């Protein structure tokens, strides 16, 4: 450390700054979470069914499968289009 011109105090000060920044961001997130809970709490009721975890997971899996299928189809179209362009380029070169 002496060769680089850094002292233990410099490193300690930098680490403290990082910890303070992290602590501040963590407190901000906690504040945001509490604010959200206070906002949502009045809308919750034991009489109203809540979209449960299993239903949420199943729904997200179906959405993901559909997305993967669309992505695969678009990749096939893209590859097909690129293949046509390459064939045209080869015939132009000859």
What would the pLDDT profile of 44-71 be if each residue is shown by its tens digit? 877 766 666 778 888 889 999 999 998 8
| Token representation of residue 37 | 């809970």
Are 45 and 80 part of one and the same domain? no
Judgement on whether residues 1 and 32 belong to the same structural domain of the protein: yes
Domain count, the chain: 2
Rounded distance, CA 81 to CA 64, Å?
A: 25
Do 41 and 81 reside in the same domain of the chain?
Answer: no
Q: What is the pTM assigned to this prediction?
A: 0.34
Q: Which residue ranges of the chain lie beneath pLDDT 70?
A: 1-15, 48-52, 79-94
Does one domain contain both 23 and 65? no
**pLDDT attached to residue 15:** 65
**Same domain, residue pair 4 and 42:** yes
Q: Which domain holds residue 79?
A: 51-94
What's residue 2's pLDDT? 47
Residue 6 pLDDT: 55
The H-assigned helical ranges of the chain are 8-40, 53-93
């Amino acid at each position: 450390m002496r060769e680089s011109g850094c002292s233990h105090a410099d490193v300690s000060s930098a680490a403290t700054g990082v910890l303070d920044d992290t602590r501040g961001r963590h407190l901000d997130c906690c504040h945001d979470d509490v604010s959200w809970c206070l906002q949502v709490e009045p809308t919750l009721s034991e009489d109203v069914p809540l979209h449960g975890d299993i239903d949420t997971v199943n729904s997200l899996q179906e959405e993901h499968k559909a997305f993967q299928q669309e992505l695969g189809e678009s990749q096939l179209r893209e590859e097909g289009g690129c293949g046509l362009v390459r064939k045209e380029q080869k015939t132009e070169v000859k």
